[in-house]
Structure 1
Amino acid sequence: MNDMRQMTSLGREIEDKSFSIIDEEAGSHPFSKEEWEVVRRIIHATADFEYKDITKIHYQAINSGIQALKKGCPIVCDVQMILAGLNQDRLKAYGCKTFCFISDEDVIAKAKEKNSTRAIEAIQKAKISNLLNGAVIVVGNAPTALLEIERLIRLEGIKPALVIGVPVGFVSANESKEAIIKLECSNVFSVPYIITKGRKGGSTIAVAILHALLLLSSKRGKK
């Protein structure tokens, strides 16, 4: 059963009222109708209107993300918390499988051996497993995961369908997001992205973005 059917009439009324308040208080914005569906779901999840100003959406992000989901793409996440928040029924309806390797014993061992981070080695495992090309990659916690994705795009030619890059934190969070944005101005693959500039972000934001894309995909109609 999907999240729409699980919601009661009162729950629907509360959500609709919340979105009406967001639309009214947010005022004008530069986003398309579908992009705004993503941004206002972030605001709904956080009650923080600053996300209207710090959310950056690549011009191909919505279409690329929806098309990938409809094809049953892999969903590669940096932390288990994202998996816990995702609507697995809706993902399964499209044939999408979720992956998170950060707690795998071999990943932990390699991180210790190389004095790396588990997040980096988890992304490496996803690459070795041929999961990154055409994938939706979701980073909500670990800037080093996003930096590794940027490196793999720039130096090894991987081509994800979409990078949701919203790691939260004080060390390398903003830098990792800026690195993804700068790919757009380089001669390498300009990966479609949805990011939140600066230090703000987190797994809750990542889940909100992916759920917004799933709802948009449903509105456009299945495969």
Structure 2
Amino acid sequence: MNEHSKTVPVDIVAPMDIENASMGIIESEIPEPRPFQGIEWQIVRRMIHTSADFEMLDLVRFHPDAVSAGQRALASGCRIFTDTEMARCAIPMRRMKPLGCTVTCLMNDPEVAKQAKRDGTTRALAAVNKSAPDMDGAIVVIGNAPTALLRLLELAAQGKATPALVVGMPVGFVNAAESKALLAAQHTLPYVTIAGRKGGSPLAGCVVNALAESILTERRS
């Protein structure tokens, strides 16, 4: 039995009890003063909870306007585009419906598949091309495909894609770290990203969930 298992009662079975206990452990292992505060800390804490990886504390990067831009977009009922079905499923509609938001993934769209085959590229990139005209004020969530993030950055630099927020967290060994570094180096798009190779759809999705929960909590109070 490791030291952490000793601190958690084995009779915790209710989902919220488990989550609250997990958050308590994270809070205790990262005491004040923390490098992130307010909503940024809520996002990073959720990412640590999702990944069980405390290295997130050193890897997460926020654009200065990321939180405010993301909250405004969600509060206005924005569209959310994801690069994978897994990322779409990581953003539950029980949080999105009260905000009037929709979550769309075009990876299985027949037109996207045909275009990707014609162009000899990935469906994720083709999906960005198709959704770009509808991205104004949207949130784009990329947790898997560096090609999607690289194409989004190209279109944004050309003024052809204007999302309110990019959650850019492609995972892997080929162009994942590089695409995220390019996202963090630009100043046009507000973003939340992770330095290096780590990332993934669950992490990218939980950023949106944390932002949405911050709005819903404020509305309930």
Instruction: State TM-score, norm by structure 1.
Output: 0.88
Shifted more, 13-22 versus 135-144: the winner is 13-22
CA distance in 2, matches of 1:180, 1:91: 26
- Give the AA of the match of 2:198: K
Q: Which residue is equivalent to 1:147?
A: 150
- Give the AA of the match of 1:12: M
Shifted more, 42-51 versus 105-114: the winner is 105-114
- Give the AA of the match of 2:19: E
Q: Which residue is equivalent to 1:76?
A: 81
Asked if the contact 2:75–2:215 (Cα under 8 Å) also holds between the matched residues in 1, the reply is yes
Q: Of the candidates 8, 18, 22, which is equivalent to residue 14 of structure 1?
A: 18
**Any residues of structure 2 matched to 1:1-223 within 5 Å, and which?**
10-27=14-31, 28-127=33-132, 130-184=133-187, 190-221=188-219
Asked if the contact 2:82–2:104 (Cα under 8 Å) also holds between the matched residues in 1, the reply is yes
CA distance in 2, matches of 1:177, 1:81: 19
Asked if the contact 2:106–2:112 (Cα under 8 Å) also holds between the matched residues in 1, the reply is yes
Asked if the contact 2:66–2:191 (Cα under 8 Å) also holds between the matched residues in 1, the reply is yes
CA distance in 1, matches of 2:18, 2:99: 28
- Give the AA of the match of 2:203: I
Alignment partner of 1:76: what SS? strand
Asked if the contact 2:69–2:164 (Cα under 8 Å) also holds between the matched residues in 1, the reply is yes
- Give the AA of the match of 2:197: R
Q: RMSD over aligned Cα, in angstroms?
A: 1.6
Instruction: State TM-score, norm by structure 2.
Output: 0.89
Deviation at 1:25, TM superposition (A): 1.2
Unaligned runs of 5+ in 2: 1-11
Asked if the contact 1:139–1:167 (Cα under 8 Å) also holds between the matched residues in 2, the reply is yes
Asked if the contact 2:40–2:67 (Cα under 8 Å) also holds between the matched residues in 1, the reply is yes
Query: Between the two proteins, what is the percent identity of the paired residues?
Result: 39
Asked if the contact 2:95–2:213 (Cα under 8 Å) also holds between the matched residues in 1, the reply is no
Deviations 1:61-92 (A, max 9, x none): 11110110011111000001112222112211
CA distance in 2, matches of 1:9, 1:71: 36
Deviation at 1:202, TM superposition (A): 0.3
CA distance in 1, matches of 2:25, 2:13: 18
Deviation at 1:9, TM superposition (A): 8.9
Aligned residues: 208
